Amino acid sequence: MADNNVRKVSFWRIFFPSLIALLVGSIISIIFFFSTLAGFMNKYFGKNEETSLKDKTFLHMDFNQMIGDVGYKTFNSSSFSMEHQHGLGEIIYGLEKAKTDKNVKGIFIEVSQLTVGYGNLFELREAIKDFEKSGKKVVIYAQGEAVTLKSLYLTTAFKDSYIFPESNVEFLGLSSEVMFYKNLLDKFDIDVEIIRGSDNEFKSAVEPFFRTEMSDSSRLQVQRIIDGIWSKMLTDISKERSVSVEQLNAYASEAKILNGKDAVQYGLVSATKYRDEVLDLLKKYAGTAKDKEVELYAFEKYARDKYKEEVKFEEKKESIALIFAEGDITTGGNGIASSKTCKYIREARTNDKIKTIVLRVNSPGGSALASEEIWREVKLAADKKKVYVSMGNLAASGGYYISSAATRIFADPTTLTGSIGVFGMIPNFGTALNKHLGITFDGVKTNKFANISLTRKLTPEELAIVQREVDNIYDQFINRVADGRKLSDAQVRRVAKGRVWLGADAVNIGLVDEIGGLVTTLNYAKKQAGDLPITVWPKVKENDLRDLLEMFDEQEQSNEDASVKISEEVLNYYKEIQKLEDKFGIQMRMPYELKF
């Protein structure tokens, strides 16, 4: 029997208190959020003395991300993370400022799997060694599951070089491997029409689509390239570590150096140490009390802040423009988009306060159309003021095309350049679609060549039309180089044929004027134009939201080791497959991608 004395609770007596509690809780949460945010903003962006370096600070270089020409952190909304690249320009400038910063005791570098092109690696090494000449300490520590050849090479350059005892070490030489797709295409009945410039025997970017192995010409040039890079690495290591090149080669051939202990035993690194021992050494150098931690400050933040201060655009001051052109050449999108790059060069050309232009090129090439658009702007600029090109890891094919009109060209000894040639690829999917999906095609046309299509094989006449256009573009490439480099047509054709040259060889054949990196190029420009400040394109802009996201990203880096990472080799293969679509059509592109 129900208890009639039980009191019924009104809905409204529950609803209103709950609503009030919800509102009060929300208000408290909002206040807490904005108070926390204000604290973060004040700490990281506030103009106070706490952000300045303390006395006897070691700047901490932790190269756990790719090193390119331009540094950036881009927020990826799909993964809710930052895509991150260190910028060589910022690193070099930060080192230059640190040399005279009274609060900087030295640099502490940690490396493991350094991701950087060889040209930039050599420039980075020289910039750090130049910093060391200031009398300040450079301490480098190699650690992690595997210390790659590039990381080891950087480590060998310094007296205070240490390595984790059990880290695996890569010191076995260099190799280059090319992925071939012909058998895969055959399995799916996909045919690809290959059209190269008539004498472009070295233009081997197309070989994976119709061969199963490297051609003799491709093998010749790739062997020359890796031999040249390996020789420079051994020469540099030999000079710093007092081990002969012959002995170093023997160590590699006999697989003598496989871990940190081996690297020390055979004289490539000073000693094995655990990280706490390296930190104790830093404390000793800094004169830090035993019960206190050595002062470390993120070098990347230091360099970025100093860099921003220096390169902010000032309309009223005369300056030298530094324009970065990094990536594949395209008409739009990422990389060297002609729409953006032409705009930067045009702005520098038409601005009377810009006295000289330095164009930093780091590109394997790409679209023939976009290359011509950028070349035009470089030519117009060079007709009005001095334009100096600094070549990075590579400035090949379209990358060389856009450089050829410059007043003077600088390259690193191992820059991959030249590759003066053109190719086109036209796939035929008709057989595959018919055989595997039952799809057929038919149509009508008004004129004989109106339906050059991707669903059938080209006729000999159609193929001849495409070949003629490729040859026309190749002839134009030859003319552009001949005009820009003051060479005859015959001289250019002898060194063209799609062949890739090392920077050191390119000087000897007239494609490059002088060996030197970005610093050498800027110093030359300053000497010619006067000691003017540098204005950078893309222009450095303040972005508080990006800086805030960077702060959170930096906080999360301590947990980075717990995350799952895709190996660099697998990632490179994935990126190569992604680029396949971009290789169709008429291209000025390096004949292969080297993975060491």
- Catalytic amino acids? 203, 397
In 184-254, which ranges are E strands? 191-196
Please state, in angstroms and rounded to a whole number, the distance separating the CA atoms of residues 442 and 177: 41
| Chain position carrying tokens 């890796």 | 226
Residue at 97: amino acid letter:
K
Q: Report the 10 Å Cβ neighbour count for 83.
A: 13
- Residue pair 293/60 in contact (Cβ under 8 Å)? The answer is no
Q: Which residues have a Cβ under 8 Å from the Cβ of 210 and sit 6 or more positions away?
A: 182, 192, 194
Q: Which residues have a Cβ under 8 Å from the Cβ of 230 and sit 6 or more positions away?
A: 173, 174
- Residue pair 591/394 in contact (Cβ under 8 Å)? The answer is no
Maximum Cα interatomic distance, the chain, rounded to a whole number of Å:
112
- Residue pair 356/98 in contact (Cβ under 8 Å)? The answer is no
Give CA 70 to chain center in angstroms. Answer: 8
DSSP for residue 8: P
Please state, in angstroms and rounded to a whole number, the distance separating the CA atoms of residues 195 and 109: 48
From first CA to last CA, the distance across the chain in angstroms is: 86
Q: What separation in angstroms does the CA of 105 have from each of 111, 136, 374?
A: 20, 6, 44
Please state, in angstroms and rounded to a whole number, the distance separating the CA atoms of residues 406 and 423: 24
| Chain position carrying tokens 């201060």 | 309
Please state, in angstroms and rounded to a whole number, the distance separating the CA atoms of residues 270 and 263: 9
